[in-house]
Structure 1
Amino acid sequence: MVGESDARPQRLIITEMVLENFKSYAGEQRVGPFHKCFSSVVGPNGSGKSNVIDAMLFVFGKRAKQLRLNKVSELIHNSAGRQGIEHAQVSVHFQEIIDTNDDEFEVVPGTNFVVSRTAHRSNKSDYFIDGRRSNFTEVTELLKGKGIDLDNNRFLILQGEVEQISMMKPKAQTEHETGLLEYLEDIIGTNRFIEPLADSAKRLETLGEARAGLVARLKIAEREREALEADKLAAEAWLDKEREACAAQRLLSHVLAHQAQMNVDKIQGNQASLEGKLAYEREKLGQYSAVLEEHEARYDAACKEHAGMAAALERANEEFKEYERKDIAYREELKHLKAKLAKTAERERRDAARLESTEAEAAAAEAEVPALLEAAAKLGAQLTREEARLEAALEGMAGEGETLRAKLRAARAELAPWEARGVAARAKRAEAASERELVRAMRDGASSALEAARDELEEALGRAAREREAAAELEAGAGGLRDRVSTAQRAVREAEQEAQRAERAAPSRGIYGRLGDLGAVDTRYDVAVSSAAPALDHWVVDSTATAQRCVELLRSRGLGVATFLILDRQAGLAAAAGAPPPATPESAPRLYDLVRCGDERMRPAFFFALRDTLVAADLDQAARIAYGPDPRWRRVVTLAGEVINEAGTLSGGGGRPKGGRIALGTAAPRAGAASSGQDAAAELAGAEKELGEAEGVSSRAAEALSRAEAELTAARAALASSESALPRARLDAEAAAARARDLRAALPGLERAVAERSGDEAALRRLDAAVAAADKELEEIARAGAGAAAEAARLERELEGLGGEPVRRLRGALAALQAEIEGKEGAAAKRTAAGAAARKLAAKLRPELERVRGEAEALRAKQEATKNEFKALDEAALEVLKGRNAAEAALAERAADLADLRAGFEAKNREVGVIRRVEQDILAEMEVQRVAAKDEAGKRRLWAARAAAADAEMAEKWGEAPAAPTPEELAAASTEDLQYRTTLLREEMERMSIDLTAIEAWRAKDAEYGVRAAELESATAQRDEVRRAHEDLRKQRLDGFMAGFNAVSLKLKEMYQMITLGGDAELELVDSLDPFSEGILFSVRPPKKSWKNIANLSGGEKTLSSLSLVFALHHYKPTPLYVMDEIDAALDFKNVSIVGHYIKERTKNAQFVIISLRNNMFELADRLVGIYKTDNATKSVAIDPGAFVVGATGPAPAVARPVLAA
């Protein structure tokens, strides 16, 4: 609790709490506002006072079980009539203030905040800060930052918790209990050391056990080292002799290296002389080479010029081929123009003839009309005379005849208009019919031309398609022929291979083959394997019998000699061949392990040939391995083919490295199948028969080869023929395609011509209608004049009956004349109409004829232009042909010059070759000297390596690097004496029975002893360090606890004396040396009584004692607000007053919210918050007791902020 000082710092208070459907609070209920100092919550039992504290704990993040419930959803109000509420919410309103006096304060601006928590039916809850969604961590950090102790809950004393303090044991008996020691240490804060102390104690125990084990191992190592001392001394004596032998061997190596160096110096003198000769020859070679280069440059220039001329000839050939293709195209064009011009000329002739005939017909018709009219006039005059004669003959019958004639004249007058209309209608019909025939002829001509062009286009397209198909067939045939050639070539190769296989075929049953062919190595090791294993040329057979048969066969056929490797004799090597690869010096590979063998039966044979030979990168590495301490690896070969044999001699190297004795690659060859030795005799006996069969197979293979070669020749000939015919087919296809393009280009013009004649259909329909109208008009005229004609005919017949036979004859003559006149007049009308129709037809034919003539003229012009172009093309092609012939002649001439240049170049080249051979001879001699020098240098390096190895061995074994021998020592030393001394020392060493491993064992044990001692020292230091850290933690815990304990104990004494007015209380350590071993006793001496343990006090005394401790802890670690639930329940009136006044005094700088039913407690409060329950729902009202005036009349004054929730 904050101390009583005049300073009034800024502090946190709760202004009010808003509960919505929380436990017994239905709806939204406001509890408060709370006073800044002392607020008391009062109300009857069961009204919901403690729910105020539960609501506060709920907001502060306590779980449902800490609120005496099982689930969060049980916090939701659930009284009768209010079931089904989905959530409950509690909001606590905070603000920070600065006290101005006992009752007034100032709110620190911006410090108001509201912490809310909502519980849902789904047992989930949400946190909010000022309406913003938050979480438990943020809420607790916020409240802790404001000074509220949510870890130890010192601000809160629940109902019955005071009595629990009095019942605490000095120390918890189990980890789930809380004793007075744990209670105080939790508040003081030294419980943070408990877990680190436990961990350090556990680690200290572990390190102690480990150290004890190390002590035991150190003693064992010491005893084992002492047991090896005697063997070590014997081995060291042997090593002294070895040291002397190594020194003698070292000096011998230096002597031999010195001798090899002298030989190298001599060889180098010879090399210097040879280099002088070589320089002279090379100088001469340079002079001749310059001349040769000049000839070569001229020859190369001539070759380039020849190649350029050949390329020019090729281009000329290609250009001439292009002219040939154009020639074909022009010929096709001229052929097409000729055909088209012939058709156009035929149309021109036909149209001209038709125009001429039409014009002649019109002229003839027009010429006939006057004659016909004149004849009709003459006949009319004759008719008049005949009519006069008839009238004279009929004068006697004037009355009757006149009457009939009058009627006849009237009938004829009535008939005359119809006859005139008939003549005009017949003339119109004749004219329309003639014009119709002309239009139909012109339309059919344009359509025929279009159809003919379309037919020709279709035929051209078909021809082009056929030509393209033919070219494609030829090309496909060429591809097939190429495939045929490839197949024939492949057949030839296969036949050749079969023939070779047949030639190689020989009896091989029981014979696996040459050893080098039965395995493979990487290309890198070819020279090394071939140099180190001559046995790879041996032939592998299954048994001794097979080998003997093979030797007999070789002897009988005179085929020379061969070495056979009998496989069943190598059975003793199978175990070594199948063993895994051993560890080798410097990890050098073993030749045998590098061989990939396809048949595991061949493994012993390869082991026989290779054994334990190792491969080294160079001679230096080979010397280090071969002259090393392990005798197993005495034979070493380098990648260059230099071999150090088991006797120490060096072979190989020098000339060209040997290779090829074994197959190369990653795939292992398979051995041929061999039969067992039991039937080897029978197999060898059949070898002759198999050989004959092989010769037959070889003969058949030769025949197959001959047939394949013939097929290849035929295929090549067919391919050449196809390739020569293919260009012509392509040209024909191109020409047909060009003709089709021309026809396609001409179609639009013909279609336009047909379209232009589209009006002909309308004209034909019009003319057909005119003819039909004329026919209809004639029918109508015939029907209309039929009555008058019949009447006239009847009257004529009656008149003919008057006057007898003479009159009838006259009448017949008159009728004949009348008919003839009508015929002449009708013929004149028809000829007039025919002439008009012919004239109209001629007028239409003339422009058509002019168009056809224009088209023919255009075709002739195009034909002439094409002929000119064709002529120019021929002239250009002739020039190209001349150029090609000239290029061929120049190429032939240049080829002759090139031959002369080549002859001169080859002559000079032969001279340079002679000089180069001399140079090569010198180089060969120099190579011999170089090889000799290399051999001597190799020996020098070898012995120098041995000497260096001896130096290194002595330095390694005896810790000293001996000085190199002087030239005088080398000259005075005898190799025989040194070899004898070395041999003698080696024999003495062999007679000694020692165990060299004893030295290493002793050293190992000594090293182990040192390691064990170091480990023990390290473990001891580590244990001491952990022990110091553990003691530091214990001291920190003890010092911190005792400081807090003494402060709390002193304040407890003061609090208890103040509350009880004379009593005494004290916290005592059960074990004064270790407060954490037995815990703490809470001893109390009530006023006027003796000292007692708190557990032996009465209920009220326990409460007072516990409250004294609580108040003392508040002094030790104050908090801004305190909430207490019925802490005065067990106190009497007097003690309640004492506690109440104490709390009243302490609320000046802190906020207290106390739930109490004791009037002498809550009457001291600055504000009362009443809690009551109606209708199964809790409600609250807040009043300020100081606002009521005792004994006043009239209405009560208003409280500071009364809140009444109904």
Structure 2
Amino acid sequence: MTACRLYTPLPPTFRLVPELELALLLRPPKGLSKKFPKPKENGNSMPPAGRAPQQLSDESEEEEEEGGRRIAGVYIPPAPVPICSTECVGPRLIISKIVNENFKSYAGRQVLGHFHKNFTSIIGPNGSGKSNVIDSMLFVFGYRANKIRSKKLSVLIHKSENHQNIRSATVAVHFVRINDLPGDDYEIIPNSEFVISRTVFNDNTSYYCVDGKRVQFREVAQILRTHGIDLIHNRFLILQVWIENLKYLPQNIPRLFDLIRLQDERMKPAFYFALRNTLVANDLNQARSVAYGATRYRVVTLEGEIIEIEGTMSGGGREKRTGRMGRSATVTTDENPAEIAAMESRLEELGGRLAQTRDRIRNREDTVSTLTRDTQKWKVELSSASNLIKLSKFKLHNLPFRPPPSELKTYTLEELSQFNENELEIASINCHDILKKMKPNLSAINDFNEKDAIYKTKCEELDDVTNRRNEVRQGFEEVRKARLSEFMEGFHIISYKLKEMYQTITLGGDAEFELVDSLDPFVEGVSFSVRPPRKSWKNISNLSGGEKTLSSLALVFALHYYKPSPLYVMDEIDAALDFKNVSIVGNYIKERTKNAQFIVISLRSNMFELANHLVGIYKTNNCTKSCSIIPEKYARMAEAQIERGRSV
């Protein structure tokens, strides 16, 4: 789970776009963002779990914020205001405690906390259940089972020798808003406590509750977002995997299937069926960084350790178990005549069915072809009719002017005597015959008027659509320019703060965060180079493990400076650091916790010794339990005993 995903290839640059844009809080238009389905199982509302949801509610339920805009029916919220500070003024939200009930290694009801308003460290031996604290939060925050190191949700239900047939598990996170007072004191804002919980059953269904009332997940996310905890961009949860992903911006890790060379190429599909996209890493650290990234992979190391997609790991030991990896493998097959005959018979049967299917396909293709020809014919006729209408309209507008007939001439008797009556009668009959043969369409004028009205209506519709298109095009251009402007503003702030952060935690180093293509920053990504103290400039890919971790933490702190969160949860971010650098990072966190809550999982003494509260995690009878102590209280008790000893 990461706030940004980092893509290959790394040297000489790595890509943080558009994920860096997310970290900069430039949210995409909500109407254009991907909507996740809201399936329901057993009547319980199921969240779009497995990844932080990108859309928390339907458009009809969203309230338009001041400064937002709507383009072609798509609502675009205003750009978030960057905080650019580590100071927090006014009330803030903290986690007071977490209650796990039959969740993973926690049997029965186990309370984690109370957590201090500033700095709490979670400590305990390996395998005791420290990481399950993170998993419990991921569970409540809507993540799918494979993101919580499990195959399915029902696996999250506790099962041990003394606790069998448990049907459900529940995690409840208790929140409260406080006002800081001098020292460790604070006052709770009245009626600000609320509890968000999620319950899972052994049939893999689950539901959410807020203060005991069932709700949909989008309501949970909306409540947390109003208090500054953004599940979309995830600025508050910093896992070791996050740091590892930055350290190993990625690397050229091959697939095991691509390394296999076979004498019988026909066996390749069988090998791919077994291996799929299994990757080969150099060591376990590299394997973890790849396996637990935003996209899960099955990874095997050169020493034989295997990390499955669901997160389980097998192998290890003192001796390397290379097997046939790296050596030529010969594939042979044992032929059984009876099986071959049966397979050939089956093949003939399938061939017959395939032929029938192809015949049906050809018949459908003929039908489609006929319909296509008819459609083309109708289109031609329609086009001809349209042209005829246009031509008729043109002819109607260009009819020659005919003067009105003159008055009938009056003949005298002498003039009439000159005409032959029989000739006149024959001429009249001929005129009538000509008129009968002409058969004029007297309804043509009405038809023309109808077609002309339709034509004018279509012209008006075309003008309306054209105007709307121009408006949308102009709005899109404005949004594109605003996106670029806001991104560059945030990028420059983060770049400047990154330099400052790296200098602080390395005691004199330097860092550069630059765009590869300044004209189009959303295409080529960024280049991250650092200069450790008393060393030359290097790309992050060429640094040692500890230097990569420090560089990654500097970037993390710079991103969180741009938009801080009221609380942070960190999982063993100091694992690759030496004693000196752990102290530097720990003291920076200690300084930062004056106005924010930090919950840090750590095994390093010079990190957790700085904490205000310690939450110890331990196991008894395959069940995880916890206890909470206040180091300062015991330190004062120890000093008092020393003073009494001296006085005696």
Q: Flag whether TM exceeds 0.5 (same fold).
A: yes
2:158 equivalent among 69, 77, 89:
77
- Greater share of strand residues, 1 or 2? 2
1:1074 equivalent in alignment to 2:520: yes
- When structure 1 is superposed on structure 2, of 105-114 and 1019-1028 the one drifting more is 1019-1028
1:155 equivalent in alignment to 2:155: no
2:4 maps to what in 1? none
What is the CA–CA distance in structure 1 between the aligned matches of 2:142 and 2:604, rounded to whole Å?
30
1:1151 equivalent among 576, 597, 600:
597
RMSD: 4.8
**Deviation digits for residues 587-631 of structure 1 (CA, Å, limit 9, x no counterpart):** xxxxxxxxxxxxxxxxxxxxxxxxxxxxxxxxxxxxxxxxxxxxx
1:63 equivalent in alignment to 2:139: no
**Deviation digits for residues 854-906 of structure 1 (CA, Å, limit 9, x no counterpart):** xxxxxxxxxxxxxxxxxxxxxxxxxxxxxxxxxxxxxxxxxxxxxxxxxxxxx
1:1093 maps to what in 2? 539
1:13 equivalent among 94, 100, 113:
94
1:1030–1:144 Cα change, 3 Å: closer
AA aligned to 2:593 is T
Residue 20 of structure 1 deviates from its aligned partner by: 1.8
Would you say the 8 A contact 1:1069–1:1075 is kept in 2? yes
1:1120–1:232 Cα change, 3 Å: closer
The SS at the match of 2:182 is coil
What is the CA–CA distance in structure 1 between the aligned matches of 2:466 and 2:215, rounded to whole Å?
53
**Deviation digits for residues 777-801 of structure 1 (CA, Å, limit 9, x no counterpart):** xxxxxxxxxxxxxxxxxxxxxxxxx
1:49–1:1016 Cα change, 3 Å: closer
1:114 equivalent in alignment to 2:190: no
Unaligned runs of 5+ in 2: 1-82, 252-293, 295-382, 644-648
AA aligned to 1:1122 is Y
After TM superposition, list the pairs within 5 Å mapping 1:887-966 onto structure 2.
none
1:1139 maps to what in 2? 585
AA aligned to 2:107 is A
AA aligned to 2:582 is V
**Deviation digits for residues 367-406 of structure 1 (CA, Å, limit 9, x no counterpart):** xxxxxxxxxxxxxxxxxxxxxxxxxxxxxxxxxxxxxxxx
Q: How does the TM-score come out when normalised to structure 1?
A: 0.31
AA aligned to 1:1165 is A
What is the CA–CA distance in structure 1 between the aligned matches of 2:520 and 2:610, rounded to whole Å?
44
**Deviation digits for residues 1172-1205 of structure 1 (CA, Å, limit 9, x no counterpart):** 11221111111111112389488799xxxxxxxx
What is the CA–CA distance in structure 2 between the aligned matches of 1:86 and 1:996, rounded to whole Å?
88
What is the CA–CA distance in structure 2 between the aligned matches of 1:1018 and 1:27, rounded to whole Å?
66
1:1128–1:1018 Cα change, 3 Å: same
2:27 maps to what in 1? none
Residue 1026 of structure 1 deviates from its aligned partner by: 4.4
The SS at the match of 1:1050 is helix
Would you say the 8 A contact 1:2–1:1119 is kept in 2? no
2:167 maps to what in 1? 86
After TM superposition, list the pairs within 5 Å mapping 1:528-547 onto structure 2.
none
AA aligned to 1:9 is G
**Deviation digits for residues 1081-1100 of structure 1 (CA, Å, limit 9, x no counterpart):** 22323233333332332222
2:492 maps to what in 1? 1046
Residue 996 of structure 1 deviates from its aligned partner by: 10
What is the CA–CA distance in structure 2 between the aligned matches of 1:106 and 1:54, rounded to whole Å?
30
Would you say the 8 A contact 2:86–2:561 is kept in 1? no
1:1196–1:105 Cα change, 3 Å: farther
1:1083 equivalent in alignment to 2:564: no
1:1020–1:138 Cα change, 3 Å: closer
2:616 equivalent among 1143, 1154, 1170:
1170
AA aligned to 1:1050 is Y
The SS at the match of 1:39 is strand
- Greater share of helix residues, 1 or 2? 1
After TM superposition, list the pairs within 5 Å mapping 1:442-521 onto structure 2.
none
Residue 1019 of structure 1 deviates from its aligned partner by: 7.7
1:1195–1:15 Cα change, 3 Å: farther
The SS at the match of 1:1188 is helix
Would you say the 8 A contact 2:85–2:562 is kept in 1? no
What is the CA–CA distance in structure 1 between the aligned matches of 2:110 and 2:463, rounded to whole Å?
73
AA aligned to 1:27 is G
Residue 990 of structure 1 deviates from its aligned partner by: 7.6
Would you say the 8 A contact 1:1188–1:1196 is kept in 2? no
1:8–1:76 Cα change, 3 Å: same
AA aligned to 1:1166 is N
Would you say the 8 A contact 2:616–2:627 is kept in 1? yes
1:1114 equivalent in alignment to 2:572: no
After TM superposition, list the pairs within 5 Å mapping 1:761-800 onto structure 2.
none
The SS at the match of 1:93 is strand
**Deviation digits for residues 833-869 of structure 1 (CA, Å, limit 9, x no counterpart):** xxxxxxxxxxxxxxxxxxxxxxxxxxxxxxxxxxxxx
1:145 equivalent among 203, 220, 226:
226
1:1109–1:975 Cα change, 3 Å: farther
What is the CA–CA distance in structure 2 between the aligned matches of 1:98 and 1:236, rounded to whole Å?
88
2:319 maps to what in 1? none
Identity %: 54
The SS at the match of 2:560 is helix
1:1030 maps to what in 2? 476
What is the CA–CA distance in structure 2 between the aligned matches of 1:1013 and 1:87, rounded to whole Å?
64
Would you say the 8 A contact 1:2–1:1150 is kept in 2? no
What is the CA–CA distance in structure 2 between the aligned matches of 1:73 and 1:1122, rounded to whole Å?
28
1:1019–1:975 Cα change, 3 Å: farther
Residue 86 of structure 1 deviates from its aligned partner by: 2.1
The SS at the match of 2:240 is coil
What is the CA–CA distance in structure 1 between the aligned matches of 2:434 and 2:143, rounded to whole Å?
90
Would you say the 8 A contact 1:2–1:1149 is kept in 2? no
2:507 maps to what in 1? 1061
After TM superposition, list the pairs within 5 Å mapping 1:350-499 onto structure 2.
none
Would you say the 8 A contact 2:176–2:188 is kept in 1? yes
Residue 1024 of structure 1 deviates from its aligned partner by: 4.5
1:1185 equivalent among 615, 631, 635:
631
After TM superposition, list the pairs within 5 Å mapping 1:143-292 onto structure 2.
143-168=224-249, 240=402, 247-248=405-406, 251=407
After TM superposition, list the pairs within 5 Å mapping 1:390-789 onto structure 2.
none
Would you say the 8 A contact 2:119–2:598 is kept in 1? yes
Residue 1033 of structure 1 deviates from its aligned partner by: 2.7
What is the CA–CA distance in structure 1 between the aligned matches of 2:482 and 2:597, rounded to whole Å?
34
Residue 46 of structure 1 deviates from its aligned partner by: 0.7
What is the CA–CA distance in structure 2 between the aligned matches of 1:24 and 1:1073, rounded to whole Å?
52
What is the CA–CA distance in structure 2 between the aligned matches of 1:73 and 1:124, rounded to whole Å?
8
AA aligned to 1:1142 is Y
The SS at the match of 2:114 is coil
1:48 maps to what in 2? 129
Residue 1027 of structure 1 deviates from its aligned partner by: 3.5
Would you say the 8 A contact 2:225–2:231 is kept in 1? yes
- When structure 1 is superposed on structure 2, of 70-79 and 46-55 the one drifting more is 70-79
1:544 maps to what in 2? none
What is the CA–CA distance in structure 2 between the aligned matches of 1:133 and 1:1090, rounded to whole Å?
58
1:118–1:1137 Cα change, 3 Å: same
What is the CA–CA distance in structure 1 between the aligned matches of 2:100 and 2:193, rounded to whole Å?
18
1:81–1:1036 Cα change, 3 Å: same
AA aligned to 2:505 is I
Higher relative contact order (CA 8 A, sep 6+): 1
The SS at the match of 2:635 is coil
What is the CA–CA distance in structure 2 between the aligned matches of 1:1168 and 1:138, rounded to whole Å?
32
What is the CA–CA distance in structure 1 between the aligned matches of 2:468 and 2:218, rounded to whole Å?
40
AA aligned to 2:629 is I
AA aligned to 2:167 is E
What is the CA–CA distance in structure 1 between the aligned matches of 2:552 and 2:174, rounded to whole Å?
31
The SS at the match of 1:1030 is helix
What is the CA–CA distance in structure 1 between the aligned matches of 2:574 and 2:529, rounded to whole Å?
21
The SS at the match of 1:1189 is helix
1:221–1:1110 Cα change, 3 Å: same
Unaligned runs of 5+ in 1: 171-182, 184-216, 256-968, 1198-1206
What is the CA–CA distance in structure 2 between the aligned matches of 1:1017 and 1:134, rounded to whole Å?
47
